[in-house]
């Protein structure tokens, strides 16, 4: 399931993030990749021990985690500290599948859902689409600054080569309370229907039954 999350960051937040990124030190992104991914990865990232990460995460991750669409679609149990990446002209990230388990040994987590948060306007660069392979073909995502796209971590995907300008993104992963992607998609669709009906018919007893069904399906399928 691919879900766009619009309006994660507002203009003030984007300006704060951009100021921090413009003043930050980036290193070769291959240093954070495994042996296979390292062969196809050409970008730059802020080091994971950089002091500015706390500032960035307070803005970006707080906004993402608390966004109602992200919560409903991903149902996160654990969320990873993101990588803040920069792609200049000629840089890309070839076809790869995200590692199934990430994090330090004392705090490992399963990667169910990947998320890319776009941090600068798409008019600032050519190329640079996040391309996710699905059973219906390739899906290309190049969203407005402040928007995000979520997609299954096990899907084959790549970042197209940037041919002009600079692409700025934050990439993070989540272990979902609902491990099975098909169940997660059903719950998300049911959630959207439930919310729509609750707004139209707030006192209808049938809507209460739908609400109870959603709640009990989450109870049945959740892993925490």
Domain residues for the domain of 192 are: 181-221
- Give the tens place of pLDDT for each residue, 202-221: 888 889 999 999 999 999 99
pLDDT at 137: 92
Same domain for 100 and 162? yes
Mean pLDDT, the chain, rounded, equals 95
Same domain for 171 and 90? yes
- Work out the average pLDDT over 111-122: 98
pLDDT at 153: 95
Residue 41 has pLDDT above 90, yes or no: yes
74's CB contacts (< 8 A; 6+ apart) are 3, 112, 113, 115, 150, 174, 176, 184
Same domain for 96 and 199? no
User: For residue 20, which phi and psi values (nearest 5 degrees)?
Assistant: -65, -45
Task: Note whether 131 and 95 are within 8 A (CB).
Answer: no
- Give the tens place of pLDDT for each residue, 103-115: 888 889 999 999 9
Same domain for 157 and 199? no
Same domain for 171 and 206? no
Same domain for 140 and 204? no
- Please give the share of the chain, as a percent, with pLDDT higher than 90: 88
Task: Note whether 77 and 173 are within 8 A (CB).
Answer: no
Q: Can you list the alpha helix ranges (DSSP code H) found in 77-140?
A: none
Same domain for 27 and 123? yes
> What's the number of domains the chain is made of?
2
Residue 34 has pLDDT above 80, yes or no: no
Query: What confidence tier does 21 reach under pLDDT thresholds 50, 70, 90?
Result: very high
Task: Note whether 128 and 159 are within 8 A (CB).
Answer: yes
- Give the tens place of pLDDT for each residue, 171-188: 999 999 999 999 999 999
Same domain for 192 and 144? no
CATH, residue 101:
2.60.120.620
How far apart, in Å, do the first and last CA atoms of the chain sit? 21
């Amino acid at each position: 399931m691919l879900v766009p999350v619009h309006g994660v960051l507002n203009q003030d937040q984007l300006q704060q993030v951009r100021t921090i990124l413009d003043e930050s030190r980036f290193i070769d992104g291959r240093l954070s990749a495994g042996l296979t991914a390292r062969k196809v990865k050409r970008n730059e990232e802020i080091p994971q021990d950089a002091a500015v990460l706390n500032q960035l995460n307070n803005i970006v991750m707080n906004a993402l985690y608390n966004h109602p669409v992200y919560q409903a679609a991903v149902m996160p149990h654990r969320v990873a500290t993101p990588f803040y990446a920069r792609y200049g002209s000629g840089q890309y990230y070839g076809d790869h599948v995200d590692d199934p388990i990430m994090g330090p040994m004392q705090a490992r987590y399963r990667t169910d859902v990947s998320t890319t948060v776009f941090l600068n306007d798409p008019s600032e660069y050519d190329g640079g689409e996040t391309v996710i392979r699905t059973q219906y073909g390739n899906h290309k995502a190049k969203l407005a600054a402040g928007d995000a796209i979520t997609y299954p971590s096990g899907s084959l995907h790549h970042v197209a080569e940037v041919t002009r300008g600079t692409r700025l993104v934050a990439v993070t992963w989540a272990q979902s309370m609902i491990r099975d992607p098909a169940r997660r998609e059903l719950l998300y669709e049911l959630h959207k229907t439930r919310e729509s009906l609750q707004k139209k018919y707030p006192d209808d007893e049938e809507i209460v039954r739908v609400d109870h069904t959603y709640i009990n399906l989450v109870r049945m399928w959740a892993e925490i």
